[in-house]
Amino acid sequence: MIVDERMVTYINSLDKGNTQFLNELEQEALKNHVPIIRREMQSFLKVLLQIKAPARILEVGTAVGFSTLLMCTYNPVSCKIVTIENYEKRIPIAMENFKKAGREKQIVLLPGDAQEVLKTLEEPFDFIFMDAAKGQYIHFLPEIMRLLKTGGILVSDNVLQDGDLIESHFAVERRNRTIYKRMREYLYVLKHHEELETSILPLGDGVTVSVKKAKEGESYGS
């Protein structure tokens, strides 16, 4: 917990929740220990969707489809979502959830390793949400940059690793040191990338919001 737990509890107590279907899906996921975005992150995503109103969304990390369906539901415009999932056991569950929600025509689920799947995509996206293997974010970034439209938004979740990133390398458990190193590198690259303007926020387990800047002579949305 990187923000005072009482403050998070208070803020979340003000939240009006989601649709009944999403609330039930959230409870089912939590009961089965499936990682989904936290309540405060849900609220933040809704605001970003209202601001950007993206027509094409790419999600890296589907799980059971909760965040996919949240983005479908709270985007103010009709959109197409491409979502990538590598864990085979969760893919049929996500597909069934899309069908139950009546959103299967809006969502394309691509199974497989995101690093390979991303290379097969051609059409650019207005909004990209990364919530997959944290140690792989830095490896996904070149393809993400290729696929993100100018003026597009990249949101990366769980980037502060429960506060471990501010600790000494030696204070981090040995099994977590690779993720620690790669995530610190990822955050540095986002903040220093010439094509991005990035903010790092202590929201949930840490989130970055990056906007792809226009190059000289380039228009936004291209």
> What is the rounded CA–CA span in Å between residue 158 and residue 164?
11
Q: What is the DSSP string of the chain?
A: --S-HHHHHHHHHT-----HHHHHHHHHHHHTT-----HHHHHHHHHHHHHH--SEEEEE--TTSHHHHHHHHH-SS--EEEEEE--GGGHHHHHHHHHHTT-TTTEEEEES-HHHHHHH--S-EEEEEE-S-GGGHHHHHHHHHHHEEEEEEEEEES-SGGGGGGS-GGGS-GGGHHHHHHHHHHHHHHHH-TTEEEEEE-STT-EEEEEEPPPTTPPTT-
Q: What average pLDDT values come out for the chain (222 residues) when binned by 10 residues?
A: 81 93 96 93 97 98 97 97 96 97 97 97 97 93 98 95 60 63 91 97 93 80 62
Residue 205 has a pLDDT of: 86
- Quick check: pTM over 0.85? yes
Angle at 144 between CA 80 and CA 216, to 5 degrees: 100
Residue 2 has a pLDDT of: 67
Residue 166 has a pLDDT of: 59
Residue 194 has a pLDDT of: 96
Q: Where are the domains of the chain?
A: 5-15+37-212
Q: Which fold has domain 5-15+37-212?
A: Rossmann fold (3.40.50)
Residue 22 has a pLDDT of: 97
